[in-house]
A and B are shown apart, each in its own frame.
Chain A
Amino acid sequence: MFAGLLDGYTQSLLTFAGIHVIAAYSFYAPYKTGQVSLGQAGFMAVGAYAAAILTQKFGLPFAVALLFGGAVAGIIGVAVGFPALRIKGIYLLLLTLGFAEIISVIALSWEYVGGAQGFRNISFNPYTLDYVVGIIVVLLLFFARIERSSLGRAMDSVHQDETAAEVMGIDVVRVKLLAFGLGAFIAGLAGALYAHHATFMDSTTFNIMLGVEILMFVVVGGGSTYWGPLVGALALNAIPEVLRALREWLELVPVEWTKAYPLDRIYDFLYGFLDFENAKRLIAYGVILIIMMIVRPDGLLTRDSLRRLRIRRWKVGHA
């Protein structure tokens, strides 16, 4: 659908941004019950490798491999979720971090999937962007329904006070496992999509920093509403593009001006600092995270801000 409409660069850009959006939702699902996971990149790896094995080694169609990747990640997610039930906060972070590392080491040492050479020549799926957009729409509808349902409220209550939720008759274990498994399933989908777009991956593709990035998407966008992951992932993916565009505009500034005001040098410094293509983006993430914690600790979008928007629209509509 998009193949003919967009040039290759834009299409690839949107595809990776979209995969990040899906990954952000994979973080959002367990987070809704208060489980913070740094291991979503690990589940992406599981989905990516499972799906790529199916298409490359067994020649199955991509759609089947996509669902298989999600399912395998989901099942492993439930298995990891069981020990994760007993621990909270920083310990859960460490457990999920360790899980992602284990997956990475397995990918490195398993020759069947390329080992240190990486998994090569995965078949390229030209419709990845269509899949990505479709999955994002389904995820939005799904989480919109969850937010309006008793199950979503139960998840919120588990997030806010587990003991009180359990005493109110909520099966906290099942709710948390469901959320964790669902998050792993979504991450598996994201990984499978990534593998068949990038066509190459190795043990460092789904590294810990990707796990941190996924967390950042939700922290920046806001974890208290289902719009947050979408907004956060898109905003952070847009920053390098916006900077690139700014750079092009700066070329138009007359040279004499830049002698008086060294805009370009200031800009080059900022660009080098914020360029998400190099390692400095991690510093940029750190800076963004600190600013967010000070200015908007609940993210760009919160449930209260959405409620205010809705009330304003309602008032305008009835004026």
Chain B
Amino acid sequence: MRDSVASRVCLQIEGLCKRFDGFAALNDLSMEVREGHIHALIGPNGAGKTTFFNVVTGVLPADTGRIVFNGQLVDDARPYKRTLKGIARTFQNIRLFPHLTVLDTVMIGEHCRAYSSIWKALGDAVLHPPFGDSSTERTIREGAMDLLEFLGLAGKCDEKASDLPYGEQRKLELARALATRPQLLLLDEPAAGMNPRETEELDEVITRIRDRGVTIILVEHDMKLVMGISDRVTVLNFGTKIAEGTPEEIQGDPAVIEAYLGEDVQL
């Protein structure tokens, strides 16, 4: 566990609401995520965790509420602008680019850091002799290869993304998100579909990402993983925050136990 007093607030959420046809997916949610933390977001199915990710990354607009990232309001910024500001994510149902190779997939993530505008990207593409790569292209490739090595996928760089086994597709999503050089990384059930050995590996990978200075919000159903690596845990139920604290505090919280009652989960 890290010292939670010293670090500053990375992401601040105030009064966030999101409704779908009268159903409140997020109901007046307020929370703080501190820099350098692994902050877990848990709750039963349908608690609003993925909606929370979609709203924070701008994939869905919030109905009301404020999202402050690094002291800046990001409410009305389009998703790519939030990525440029330093928010990255993975998807619960893997969303890779099926026809791209593993290396190309990660290079997509690097694109936004390499070129500040589409005209620069166009210029770099066209103002270069045919066949052969520009220097920026080589930098992007090296950065992507480093990330693939970091996640143990370097040997598969020429394979099609959709040909990878499930666990490695999840890792590839992680590499692609890291390629955008985020300060805040939202992981949506990264351990889903992984076997216990892979989950253990993932545990180590997430810790290493945190040690690189990336703040992490983790949505996960694997309670062993969550309680083992999180600095703080927020529990959602029906879009409302019902508890927040250290893993130890959460495990003893009667409200949390009641929310999970009837579910086969070992807190």
- Hey, which bits of chain A sit against chain B, CB under 8 A? 141-142, 144-146, 148-154, 156-157, 160-161, 163-175, 178, 224, 303
Contact = CB atoms under 8 A, between A and B. Distances in A.
B134 interface: yes
B118 A171 contact: yes
Contacts of B111: 150, 153-154, 168-170
B44 interface: no
A152 B128 CA distance: 14
Interface in B93-132: 95-100, 104, 107-115, 118, 121-122, 124-126, 128, 130-132
B83 A169 contact: yes
B31 interface: no
Interface of B: 57, 59, 78-80, 83-84, 88-89, 91, 95-100, 104, 107-115, 118, 121-122, 124-126, 128, 130-134, 136-137, 140, 176-177, 179-180
A141 B124 CA distance: 14
Given A150-B124, A154-B108, 9 more contacts: A141-B130, A144-B131, A145-B125, A148-B131, A148-B132, A161-B95, A168-B180, A169-B80, A175-B118
Contacts of A165: 97, 108
A167 B57 CA distance: 7
Contacts of B118: 151, 171, 174-175, 178
Q: Label chain A's interface by main secondary structure.
A: helix
A164 B95 contact: yes
Contacts of A164: 91, 95-97
A308 B57 CA distance: 39
Contact of B125 (A151, A168, A175, A224): A151
A175 B112 CA distance: 12
Of the candidates B59, B88, B95, B124, the one having the most CB atoms from chain A within 10 angstroms of its own CB is B95
A178 B125 CA distance: 14
Given A167-B79, A168-B112, A157 B100 contact: yes
Nearest to A178: B118
Nearest to A172: B80
Contacts of A166: 59, 78-80, 83
Nearest to A224: B99
A153 B99 contact: no
Contacts of B114: 150
Given A150-B125, A163-B59, A169-B180, A145 B130 contact: yes
A173 B124 CA distance: 20
